Structure 1
Amino acid sequence: MAEPKLSKDVYNVKSDENADSKEHIYLEETFYILSKKKSVFRVRLTSKGLSLIKETDDCSKEQTILLRDIIGSKCMRSKRRRVGARSCICSSFVGHQQLKVVDENSGDLDESDISAYLYIYAYNLKRSRRSFKRERTTITLRFRSYDKYEDNNREAQKWRTTIKCLLVDQPITYTLPYNDKKLLILLNPKSGPGKARELFQTKAAPILQESDTPYDLHVTKYAQYAREFVRTRNVYAWRGIVAVGGDGVLFEILNGMFERLDWQQAFAEVPLAILPCGSGNGLARTICHHYNEPYIPQNLTGLTMALARGKTAHMDVVRVETKSKIMFSFLSVGWGLLSDIDIESERLRAIGGQRFTVWALARLVGLRKYKGVVSYAKIKDVSNLPKPKHPLTISHSVSQDGALDSPEADAFFDCDENSEVFTSAVNGKRHQRVDSWYSVNSRRSAFYSTRGSEYHSVTSSGSEMRSPVHACMHGPASHLPSLMFQLPSHWVHEEGEFVMVYVSYQSYIGEDLLFAPRSHLSDGIMWMLIIKAGISRSQILSLLLGMSQGNHSEINTEHIKMIPVSAFRIVPEGPNGHLTVDGELVEYGPIQAEIFPNIVNLLVPDTK
């Protein structure tokens, strides 16, 4: 077997990218196949990926495993030979495993086999009819150039270490990169049809194991468990927080992080992620959409790979204010038809995402209208928005005429039971203000931290934790006047009867609902869909059906309009109706929201 050749550059003429770009070769070796005379594999590890060229007397076949599709590798050792098995050094294409190989620390090893085996795990993108899917591939390289197992293992470990360094984008060394921080997995077993635990164990856990990604798994025990957990624990002990379930569990995590005094540092250092096991799964579908990752319901492959690779991207959040509380949102705010469908279809949760379709038909038959006032700050040019600095922290004050003053100084306020209530005088009246640093019935926040964490396959006994104090919402301070105050003069106001007002800041609000095709994870834009009363049921049905392709987004008629906004206020009339934030029911009444770009870091697929 040839000695490995290191550190060489070649021109990547076969790449889809610029032909002038160089492809760096890190390792190269030739592997012989003894069962076939004059048949060899030439294997290269390059900056592009793993190139395998199978050469025989009459043909040559090449296969390239892209680096972005490789998830990890492991060195193994032979346990015992099968009787009559072929002696194969390199098994890179489809074929049966010839030897039983196990971890080198296992018992009953085959001491006569001095070979070291390198298993390389990859999930390649394959076209399946009109779409793509990921297909698991295992590359097996057998090293036996030397007379001792230790020497062969050293060569195999060199390949393994180089692959790991490339995957985590670190300089090539002969020491295996190691991150002592685990992922924190918060799993809601009741999300959607209730299959989150099963899906995680069968779909995600094997990939995390192949990538050597350690994690702590905690199963939520009650409503708001995830929220209390991230608020009261030392989140810096983990390298990321993963919500396993629907959008609801991530909503809890997001707001729990904003209830920390150190929210700004926490978001900067601890990225969030989601594995979709719920009914809607809007954010997960959006992430896959933006990063060209195949999205297949109940298939967690691509997003689990993102957890292992560790690439991050910024995401906007929206500050939402009601009469009695504030909260932060990552997906949507709704009033009317879609919110009614979302909340009332809960009784059909067992059937998964199909519940929305079934209930949409029911709500079309009994179509409702809602009176109220919708106000918004319209974005005139969505293609030329200024990029905000990260992180964004703004203080504000409200002047007597309702205009906003926004000095550049940062503001941070503690949550103290002795703090003064923020008040302003408008038209001679004084009103209590619910703001970022103030929450009704607030108390000084107490925080608990743990110096270490245990590895959990299920929630350990005694791990239940409830915060003994009232939470206080922090986060960036609002630009907007209080709900009781007059809005700025440049806002647009629409009053009358509405079938629906729905605002989203993600492309998808469900697995098959492309709500805002022009939206990005971090662009500072909310997309508001207004449907006024007077529209026919057939038009609404056509619009809902068109949402699967985003066909509704360019409609602008007497009854339907789609508007890019930076802030809005909805004031419903009457006591009956549903208001939702990220699919969660909130108190019915006045509500307003504004967007803050680049607040959260998300773990996203690697598209290099």
Structure 2
Amino acid sequence: MQTRGTVLLEETFYIFNKKKTVYRVKLTEKGLSLQKESNGNSKSETIQLDDIVGCRCMRRKRRKSESCVCRPMTPGRKSGLSVVEENSTEQDENDSSVYLYIYSYLLKKGRGVKSSTLKRDKMTITLRFRSFDHLEDNMREAQRWRVAIKYLVRNKPVPPAVLMPRDHLDQDYMAEIPNSGEDRRLLVFVNPKSGSGKAKEMFERRVVPLLIDAELPYDLHLTSGPNDARRFVRQRHDLTSTYSDIVIVSGDGLMFEVINGLLERPDWGEACQLGLGIIPGGSGNGLAKSVSFAQGEPYSQNPVLVSALNVVKGHKAPMDLIRVETKSLILYSFLSIGWGLISDIDIESERLRSIGGQRFTIWSLARLVGLRTYRGRLSYSIAPGYRSAGNGPLLRRSTSETEAINNLSNGQNNGFNGNLRSQSCHEDLSAPLSLPSDRSPAPRMRLNSTASSISEEFSVLEYEIDGEVLGETAGPENINPNGSRLRLDSFYSAKSRSSAFYSVAASSYHSLTLPDDDQSPDAICMYGPASRLPALTQPVPSSWTVIDGDFVMVHANYQSHIGSDCYIAPDARPDDGVIWLAVIRAGATRSQLLQFLLGVSSGSHIHMPIVQMIPVTAFRLEPESVKSTGHITVDGELVDYGPIQAEVMPGMARVLTR
């Protein structure tokens, strides 16, 4: 039985120009332990499994014919290890070594003026297996580590055959090992027009390399227009049997399409078990920010990387959906429902979309100058555990966004999904360590760092050989134009430079299509759990609170953020079963409303006397006039102006997190 902390695999690696220094590398169910022993002193570091995304076995690349193996090193010259995939035709047949690349993304503090901020940095550990004379034996040993790590990363027990002493293993032992947790396949939707038309390029350059490191297969669908993704997921008959997760590379609008497409399937219950991932590529990225915020991840430092890591790690966390009913339709929402000021700004600023995010600022000022109020009735059912007092319910204490992230990073995350952090690993871990060999010595390695930590010494360890790097290493630099070795940044693959379309083996990188047999609009039916609310034409229950009057806005929120910089509901979590109504009544001055709009970015608006934050499980909104110039939106999408009601469906969807 494997217990947490038990050593599963262990090897000793050496640095050749430091005869008295050894590294003992241990794999446990907690992570990868690195222990440096030198001159009687010992230091250790641990890379947590939660921070490891994948690993691959690589071979040394065959050198170019003009390169001289025995040529003397030019003083001060730095050359890199050149590696290729294990099945490449360019591998060096004269080198029986196998290089295990382990890819991780560690949570680190910034430096200097940014020392209080956190970010994710890529660290690649390279272990060289060369104990045996034959390639097959070294490959077998490296594969033991690779398979064990992949099982652990997928939170599955390692097969006993992998952990057997190596002298008990035969050549075919790998064939007896079941699938190493690679039961995922992603369906990726990219809106090529989102993100100023750069979403597709961003996916190719910054997300695909991460999928390669994690060996995650995927199929890509480039959306052709509105409701294309909705139609696709509704019609794809083998959706639930082919894919484990659906990933959106766009804004919140495309996620709205996918969720409602899933609920238009007769097998909606099974379809809602698919993991939903989102990588920001549009103007509205509320869900991506909210999911990362709920786990204390440093989204603002690198939104694409942090969101892509959520997809790769693939933990399916429950997420509430909101069943929405209007006079003409039923739909499902994951973000917000708006009436009044914020919705007016969102919809009416579309005419300025060409100027980017500044359109919201400009139209906010326009709406303050021409301030509107709306008369209507708001009815709601207070969430359990809260009670009304004075102008509104008593709320839990809310913190600033920065303070909340720090609390969540320290494990105070209200249970959405706790994270383990890698210990003491704050530097690069990219250069190979080697197992001892009885054969001729490997190329001499030079350690040119005076840093004290283990990881700092790993980062500068280099082979003094000729060649170019095709494999992945870590660091903030790129590959120079002639292809010689430079270290890569934290999200950029060397391979993505050589091909505009590079996918994991067995993946499709093209726009998927469906047979031309679309259902008629009349045949489309919205499924889902039965409503617990009375019909819109019936009175609300007597236990509900009812407010009649004039409103500047009512905005119902179920995520902490409705945009990457709009921290509208600080207490909201994706699975808390609560709708947070942000209500501003008529009578607020333009100055107060300006302060409200400015405060939304930090969450300080909730302390303003004009703002009520009301936690409910259901509500109904009934505008008095159906001829108003106002707007009602659901997840940023315009719906018919008129009565609308909504209720929480707790944990109905699954969102991909770390």
Residue correspondence of structure 1 range 451-462 to structure 2 within 5 A: 455-459=507-511
Residue correspondence of structure 1 range 436-515 to structure 2 within 5 A: 455-459=507-511, 466-470=518-522, 471-515=524-568
2:119 touches 2:302 (CA, 8 Å); kept in 1? Answer: no
AA aligned opposite 2:143: Q
Q: Distance in 1 between matches of 2:70 and 2:600?
A: 56
Residue 371 of structure 2 is aligned to residue 367 of structure 1: yes
Aligned to 2:492: none
Aligned to 2:215: 212
Aligned to 1:535: 588
What is the count of residue pairs matched by the alignment?
509
Aligned to 2:268: 263
Superposition deviation, residue 550 in structure 1: 1.7
Q: Which moved more, 1:304-313 or 1:161-170?
A: 304-313
Structure 1 spans left out of the alignment, 5+ residues = 1-6, 10-21, 88-94, 385-452
Superposition deviation, residue 199 in structure 1: 1.6
Aligned to 1:149: 135
Once the two structures are superposed, what CA deviation does each residue of 1:333-383 show, in whole Å capped at 9, x if it has no partner? Answer: 000110011112223434544433332223222222122222222236249
Residue 280 of structure 2 is aligned to residue 276 of structure 1: yes
Once the two structures are superposed, what CA deviation does each residue of 1:247-297 show, in whole Å capped at 9, x if it has no partner? Answer: 1111011111111111112213x2222111111211111110111211037
Structure 2 SS opposite 1:516? coil
Distance 1:85 1:340, change over 3 A: farther
Structure 2 spans left out of the alignment, 5+ residues = 163-176, 388-393, 395-504
TM-score w.r.t. length of structure 1: 0.79
TM-score w.r.t. length of structure 2: 0.73
AA aligned opposite 1:166: L
Aligned to 1:254: 259
Q: Distance in 2 between matches of 1:375 and 1:32?
A: 70
Structure 2 SS opposite 1:314? strand
Aligned to 1:44: 26
1:228 touches 1:467 (CA, 8 Å); kept in 2? Answer: no
Residue 5 of structure 2 is aligned to residue 23 of structure 1: yes
Match of 2:192 among 180, 189, 192: 189
Residue 247 of structure 2 is aligned to residue 242 of structure 1: yes
Aligned to 1:106: 88
Aligned to 1:171: 157
Residue 347 of structure 2 is aligned to residue 343 of structure 1: yes
Superposition deviation, residue 86 in structure 1: 12
**Greater share of helix:** 2
Superposition deviation, residue 68 in structure 1: 0.9
Superposition deviation, residue 154 in structure 1: 0.7
Superposition deviation, residue 37 in structure 1: 2.9
1:43 touches 1:53 (CA, 8 Å); kept in 2? Answer: yes
Residue correspondence of structure 1 range 31-430 to structure 2 within 5 A: 31-57=13-39, 60-80=42-62, 98-128=80-110, 129=114, 130-173=116-159, 174=162, 175=177, 177-233=180-236, 234-236=238-240, 237-268=242-273, 270-296=274-300, 299-379=303-383, 381-382=385-386
Structure 2 SS opposite 1:23? coil
2:622 touches 2:642 (CA, 8 Å); kept in 1? Answer: yes
Superposition deviation, residue 241 in structure 1: 1.1
1:192 touches 1:349 (CA, 8 Å); kept in 2? Answer: no
AA aligned opposite 1:456: S
Q: Distance in 2 between matches of 1:358 and 1:339?
A: 14
Aligned to 1:522: 575
AA aligned opposite 1:338: I
Distance 1:590 1:73, change over 3 A: same
Aligned to 1:565: 616
1:85 touches 1:98 (CA, 8 Å); kept in 2? Answer: no
1:330 touches 1:582 (CA, 8 Å); kept in 2? Answer: yes
Superposition deviation, residue 58 in structure 1: 7.9
Distance 1:537 1:567, change over 3 A: same
AA aligned opposite 1:562: M
Aligned to 2:646: 593
Aligned to 2:427: none
AA aligned opposite 1:200: F
Structure 2 SS opposite 1:345? helix
Q: Distance in 1 between matches of 2:49 and 2:595?
A: 43
Superposition deviation, residue 461 in structure 1: 7.1
What is the root-mean-square deviation of aligned Cα atoms in Å?
A: 2.7
Q: Distance in 1 between matches of 2:631 and 2:539?
A: 24
Q: Distance in 1 between matches of 2:248 and 2:197?
A: 15
Structure 1 SS opposite 2:23? strand
AA aligned opposite 2:203: F
AA aligned opposite 2:606: S
Q: Distance in 2 between matches of 1:463 and 1:199?
A: 29
Distance 1:550 1:462, change over 3 A: closer
Q: Distance in 2 between matches of 1:276 and 1:36?
A: 46
Aligned to 1:16: none
Superposition deviation, residue 298 in structure 1: 6.2
Q: Distance in 2 between matches of 1:594 and 1:484?
A: 16
AA aligned opposite 1:599: M
**Greater share of strand:** 1
1:569 touches 1:593 (CA, 8 Å); kept in 2? Answer: yes
AA aligned opposite 2:123: T
Structure 2 SS opposite 1:508? coil
